[in-house]
Structure formats: C-alpha cells, structure tokens
Amino acid sequence: MKRIILASAMMAVGIVAMAQQALWGIPQLKSPEVNADNTVTFRLLAPDAKEVKVTGDFLPTEKVRTDVGEFDMPGSATLTKGENGMWEFTTTSPLSPELYGYSFIVDGFRTVDPGNVFVIRDISTLTNVFLIEGDQADLYKVADVPHGTVSKVWYDSPQLGMKRRLTVYTPAGYETSGKRYPVLYLLHGMGGDENAWSELGRATQILDNLIAAGKAEPMIVVMPNGNAAMEAAPGESSLGFTQPTPNLPKTMDGSYESSFPEIVDFIDSNYRTKRDKGSRAIAGLSMGGYHSLHISKEYPDMYDYVGLFSAAIFPNKGVKSPIYDDMEGKLAVQFAKSPKLYWIAIGDKDFLYESNKEYRKLLDNKGFKYVYRESPDGHIWKNWRIYLSEFLPQLFK
C-alpha cells in the first residue's frame, strides 16, 4: 500500500475546504467580536465599497414614517474604513445580555455578515445573530444540562385538506421514563411557522435550562404551524424553495382555531400525554396569542393555562367565523370554569398595547381574573423570550 501518497490525499480533505474558503474570498476576520466589556465589534472586508452600515436591534430605534403610520424601526450605524479595505464599528457602550439580530448594508443593499454563519430567518429576511451572555440570556444558551428532543413531525389534517408539520419538544428522559407528561401548545405570530419558537424563540434552550434547574415541570411542548393554508415552513413543504411572503391567507379567519382539535388528537394519540384540563396549556405571541385566546374560549374544558404574549385580540372587521361569534358569552363560560392561569403580557411600546388595554378593561368589567405583566419595548422577540421564560415556571404546579 502506498501509504505516503494516501496520507497526502487524506490531508487534502481539509486543505480543499480551506482552499475553497481562501479562493472564495471569505475573509479570515472575527465578526462580530464580543469584547471583554460586552461592547461588540463588527467587521467587513469590502475594499471597493463606498459605505457600509450595520443595522440591528442592539441599536436605538428610529421613528420611520410610512403610508400606514409611524413605526419604531431598528436604527443603523456606519462602519469606518481602515487599512486594506477593512470596515469596522464598535458599539459605543456595552450591550446588555440578550440574543441580538443584525445585518450589514453595503452600498445600499442589505446582506448578511460573511464572517458569521449564524443566521435566523424571520419571515422573508435572513438576519445574523449573536448572544451577549448573563441574566435572562443565560437561559438562551445550550448549557451542560440534560437536553430534550426536538422533532419535526407531520400530522394529517382532513379538515385543512393536507399533511402538516409541527415541532415537538419532549423533555430529557421522555424516551425511557414510561411517564405521562403535561402539554403546552406554543403558537407563533404572523409570518412565522413551526420553526419560529425553537429558532428565534430559543424555546428549546429555555425549556432545557428551566427544567434542569427545577424551575419548570418536565413537559411536552407542541409548536404547530398556525397558517391554515400552509403545510410546513417555507422551503420544507411541497412548495419547494418558494420565497416566503409575510401575508398569508387563512391566518386569522377561524380556520386554524376550528382545526386545532386535530392537533390535540394527534398529540394525544402519538405521545404519552396527560389528558386532563389541568395538564394542558396554550400560549402564543401576536397572532399566536390571538389563536390562544380564541381556541381557549372555544374549548373551555381543554386548557387550564392560557398565555397571551403581545396578543392580537379582536377579529378583523368583516371576518366571519362561528369561532368569533358571541365572544363575551364564550369568555363568560371560560372564566366561570376558573382557569388556573390567564396570563396577559405586553410591552409598553407595542402597537397592540391599546387593544390589549381595551381587552383588559373588558375582563375587568366582567370580573374575569387574569394576571397582567407589562414590560418595556415593543412587538419584538426579546419580549417573547422573556415572557416564555416567566410563563413556563407557572405551569402545571
């Protein structure tokens, strides 16, 4: 055997990969770099660029006026060109612990940081991410604790006329414990899908860490796809690689809420679940909060724990569905059965703040009991991760 020749060939496996990178022009630089004081440095090698900016949720928001109103949008900062075409920007102050998203804007077009392969898709945008550790953000890390299993599972929906995919978290030890577990149904917002909570939401890490610390009960968490016209997340359905759009049909017209029992039946048939009301929770963000509200009142004997995170509340004008008929009457039935927890959380800058205030006023007037949590900031993932971290420890106690 010509061992020397073969050994050289083997070494080449690694070298090809490196050569490809060198040849394909990937800069050997660190971006982003979290410095010792928690300031962060962004770098981009772009010798021919005229202007490089970074935009992201670590920067102060800017008011932006559009045809449909004024919105708080992530601000931007300009990188400085240094030697050899290297652009750089360091935040002026340390960042507080959080999972942040950012993008570069190079001569006017928005792009990912080629120095950072970690991206998360939010609707039709890819965003780079980085984590500043500490405080609540330590729950978002993969720690050295027992890990649950995250599965992508398909179920049959005769009512929606298609096979549909959902994400299921089973807690560490599920496979061999022989035990039954309570179930949280955790719903995403408009433009999201069955991947949103486990990716942007860091739900897997939050669950692993809270359960390991004894702060949350071991539970099954089901993250379905709340777009009734959609089989699965973009790129993972029979539509193939079709570019996603934020506005989808059949998202808030009652279709999803009325098909929801199919999901519960599927989970109860395929997992070792506890099947009493006291062992079921439902919660969601934005559109998922809306779904949680309407599903929990439609089926008042199903869910003892309800979480509305920055929730949309009332159906849009003109939307007709039996699901939305007699909202106050159904709420009266639901609250007469004294759910163990009805938790409403919203940021003080959320564009849904006023409708939540209106809803709380309705609940107050009727004497329906709920717990209210108000946080800073608006309609953003930072808040939803915090709400999930606070909601989980209150379940199934």
Q: How, if at all, do strands 80-81 and 86-90 pair?
A: antiparallel
Minimum distance between the CB of residue 359 and its own copies, rounded to whole angstroms?
Answer: 9
Hey, is 294 helix, strand or coil?
helix
User: Nearest Cα to 163, choosing from 308, 266, 25, 248?
Assistant: 266
193 or 304: CB nearest its own copies: 193
**Candidate ranges 35-43, 140-148, 179-187, 210-218; the one touching its own copies (CB under 8 A):** 140-148
154 or 338: CB nearest its own copies: 154
**Candidate ranges 115-123, 215-223, 276-284, 381-389; the one touching its own copies (CB under 8 A):** 115-123
How far is the C-alpha of 73 from the C-alpha of 60, rounded, in Å?
9
How far is the C-alpha of 65 from the C-alpha of 178, rounded, in Å?
56
| Residue selected from 234, 288, 307, 347 as contacting its own copies according to rule CB under 8 A | 234
Residues 6+ apart with CB under 8 A from 202: 99, 139, 140, 385
| Residue selected from 36, 60, 68, 84 as contacting its own copies according to rule CB under 8 A | 68
221 or 395: CB nearest its own copies: 221
Q: How many residues does the chain have?
A: 397
Residue 241 near its own copies by CB under 8 A: yes
Minimum distance between the CB of residue 56 and its own copies, rounded to whole angstroms?
Answer: 11
Residue 75 near its own copies by CB under 8 A: no
Please state the φ and ψ torsions of residue 272, each to the nearest 5 degrees: -80, 85
Minimum distance between the CB of residue 104 and its own copies, rounded to whole angstroms?
Answer: 9
How far is the C-alpha of 13 from the C-alpha of 16, rounded, in Å?
6
Residue 60 near its own copies by CB under 8 A: no
**Candidate ranges 185-193, 219-227, 254-262, 274-282; the one touching its own copies (CB under 8 A):** 185-193
How far is the C-alpha of 373 from the C-alpha of 387, rounded, in Å?
9
Sequence letter at residue 121: R
Residue 392 near its own copies by CB under 8 A: no
| Residue selected from 325, 358, 364, 374 as contacting its own copies according to rule CB under 8 A | 358
**Candidate ranges 294-302, 315-323, 368-376, 385-393; the one touching its own copies (CB under 8 A):** 315-323
Which residue carries 């049909």 as its tokens? 249
Minimum distance between the CB of residue 322 and its own copies, rounded to whole angstroms?
Answer: 18
| Residue selected from 35, 126, 138, 333 as contacting its own copies according to rule CB under 8 A | 126
Minimum distance between the CB of residue 157 and its own copies, rounded to whole angstroms?
Answer: 13
Minimum distance between the CB of residue 181 and its own copies, rounded to whole angstroms?
Answer: 15
44 or 183: CB nearest its own copies: 44
Q: How, if at all, do strands 280-285 and 40-45 pair?
A: unpaired
Residues in contact with its own copies, shown as a per-residue x/- string from 274 to 313 under the rule CB under 8 A: ------------xx------------------------xx
User: Nearest Cα to 46, choosing from 31, 34, 65?
Assistant: 31
Residue 142 near its own copies by CB under 8 A: yes
Hey, is 284 helix, strand or coil?
strand
Residue 372 near its own copies by CB under 8 A: no
How far is the C-alpha of 44 from the C-alpha of 25, rounded, in Å?
12
| Stretch 199-228 residues interacting with its own copies (CB under 8 A) | none
Hey, is 318 helix, strand or coil?
coil
Residue 366 near its own copies by CB under 8 A: no
How far is the C-alpha of 358 from the C-alpha of 351, rounded, in Å?
13
Residues 6+ apart with CB under 8 A from 25: none
Q: List, in sequence order, the alpha helices (H) in the chain.
A: 3-23, 174-177, 196-199, 203-212, 255-270, 287-298, 327-336, 353-366, 381-391
147 or 373: CB nearest its own copies: 147
Residue 118 near its own copies by CB under 8 A: yes
175 or 214: CB nearest its own copies: 175
**Candidate ranges 170-178, 210-218, 332-340, 385-393; the one touching its own copies (CB under 8 A):** 170-178
Residue 88 near its own copies by CB under 8 A: no
Q: Which residues pair with 309 in a beta bridge?
A: 285, 345
Q: How, if at all, do strands 40-45 and 33-34 pair?
A: antiparallel
How far is the C-alpha of 314 from the C-alpha of 114, rounded, in Å?
42
Residue 135 near its own copies by CB under 8 A: no
| Stretch 144-163 residues interacting with its own copies (CB under 8 A) | 144, 146-147, 149-154, 163
